Amino acid sequence: MDRMSTDAADLAALAALLADETRAAMCLALLDGRAWTAGELAAHAGVARSTATGHLDRLVGGGLLIEERQGRHRYVRLADASVAHLLEDLSVRLQPRPDQPRGLRQATATAAMKRARTCYDHLAGELGVAVADAMTARGLLDQRGGFALTAAGLAWLTEDAGIDAHRLQGRRRPLARGCLDWTERRPHLAGVAGAQLCERFLAQGWIRRIGTTRAVKVTDTGRRGLSALLGID
């Protein structure tokens, strides 16, 4: 009974960390996989820097974020990929709001996030789902009963996608993991393979980040590359 009470208290404490809109906004911003300063997160959430610092201290203390210091600057990032998956899984449970985005800028930003974005260190949105579907159709990824790379998929990652085989080995994370996309309501590819593909696409200039948001844009080079590599239009 004592153990059950302890587990319940710990779960309630974890939930309380995300029960504040400012802290939730900060965590969602950090889903881009990069480290942010307290000042950047304060501006993003629309609060004073001192207020942001207090919220960040709670998130770090609760294990959702980790901090890094470089000189006078304090950076924070999500603690690990499991925190990103938790946030994405919770987002899937949100009911779409009936009201439409207000203003052209907000409508444009919302559309960009839906088309293609990063989910921590892998691709999400329409692009992320399209990559997973194309890999499945080609026998590179098996989605039956979970996500698993096939033997052909492993060979494709190193031979066709150009990923160093050593970067796929010796990791604590699963090689392939399905992550339910909160806008598409279908899974995209996470895990080491998803992260390496995203990194490769960024390095090749196939996709580029849009400002400081999680949204990414497929370049002209990327359109040609994705068409040749996976037949994605």
Averaged pLDDT score across all residues of the chain: 88
Give me the domain span that covers residue 191. Answer: 88-230
Both 69 and 97 in a single domain? no
Question: How does pLDDT run across 71-122, given as a tens digit for each residue?
Answer: 777 889 999 888 988 888 888 777 655 555 567 777 787 888 899 999 889 9
Both 216 and 141 in a single domain? yes
User: b/e string for 70-82 if b means 16 or more Cβ within 10 A?
Assistant: eeeebebbbbebe
Q: What is the CATH number of the domain that holds 8?
A: 1.10.10.10
pLDDT value at position 4? Answer: 56
- Regarding pTM above 0.85, the answer is no
Question: How does pLDDT run across 134-190, given as a tens digit for each residue?
Answer: 999 999 999 987 889 999 999 999 999 999 988 888 667 889 989 888 888 889 999
Question: How does pLDDT run across 17-67, given as a tens digit for each residue?
Answer: 999 999 999 998 898 888 899 899 999 899 999 999 999 999 999 999 999
Both 104 and 32 in a single domain? no
Judged against a pLDDT cut of 50, whether residue 1 lies above it is answered with: no
Q: Decide: 226 and 232 in contact? Cβ < 8 Å.
A: yes
Both 117 and 221 in a single domain? yes
Percent of all residues in the chain with a pLDDT value above 90, rounded to a whole number? 53
Q: 77, 78, 31, 87: which is closest to 214 by C-alpha? A: 31
Q: Which of 79, 112, 132 is the last residue of a domain?
A: 79
**Looking at the 3D structure of the chain, how many domains does it have?**
2
Percent of all residues in the chain with a pLDDT value above 70, rounded to a whole number? 94
**Between 213 and 232, the higher pLDDT residue:** 232
Both 183 and 201 in a single domain? yes
Q: 145, 146, 125: which is closest to 198 by C-alpha? A: 125
